[in-house]
Amino acid sequence: MGKADIFLDSVTGQALVNWWLAVPGGARVPNWDIASTCTIEGKPGLLLIEAKAYDEELNREKSGKKLKEPDSLNNRRNRMQIGSCMQQANLSLAEETHMPWSLSIEHNYQMSNRFAWAWKLTELGIPIILVYLGFLNAIEMSDRGVLFRNHKFWEELVLAHSELLFSNQVWNRRWTLHGQPFIPLIKSIDQPLNIGAEEAGYEG
């Protein structure tokens, strides 16, 4: 998203990439499942969505950032910088929310980088809504893991996953980071493939 001019102006996008990576050329930045511009409290902002359809999609994200092969000097530099970004975010988030934060490159890396990027975007002056979205009863995925039966089941999985990183009180509240609204939400949607979007039922 750091290079997507449709969401960010080129200066802001490059600042985000340079913050995250010591050696940007050829390296990957976090990719969101869904990203959209939106208006948050009357100001242009971003809606960032991480979506899952079965439990293993979340469970396998408990690991840390994978080591790239071959283990080049540039890879090491990037890894060190990402770790530093996580610590910057932790210190600032702890100060602004008055709760401990433990975003990490060593475990629960995907959720860690989602929150670290959201934090940085607020520092760059952009209001953020961050959504963890569970697709309920996605029967087409039933051979891959346990499906989310209802919103409560999905919410409990997300809370259990995030508790190593920050308090459960973080979710479903409006926060102010760098003077910008930051709203992390747990949401779910039950949308069978054979119906239109207008018939979909939302929960949470």
Distance CA 157, CA 178 (A): 29
Q: Is there a contact between 165 and 159 (Cβ–Cβ < 8 Å)?
A: no
| 188's tokens | 């779910």
Question: Residue 197 has what DSSP assignment?
Answer: G
Q: Check residue 28 and give its pLDDT.
A: 84
Give mean pLDDT, residues 17-43: 91
**SS3 of 94-142:** HHHHCCCECCCCCCCHHHHHHHHHHHHHHHCCCCEEEEEEEEECCHHHC
Q: Check residue 27 and give its pLDDT.
A: 78
Write down the mean pLDDT value for the chain.
90
Instruction: Please give the helix or strand (H or E) that residue 49 lies within, else none.
Output: strand 43-52
The domain locations on the chain are 10-203
Q: Which amino acid is at 200?
A: A
Q: Check residue 7 and give its pLDDT.
A: 81
Q: What is the pTM of this model?
A: 0.90
Distance CA 116, CA 130 (A): 11
Task: State the pairing for strand pair 43-52/201-203.
Answer: unpaired
Could you report the per-residue pLDDT of 83-114, keeping only the tens digit for each?
A: 999 999 999 999 999 999 999 999 999 999 99
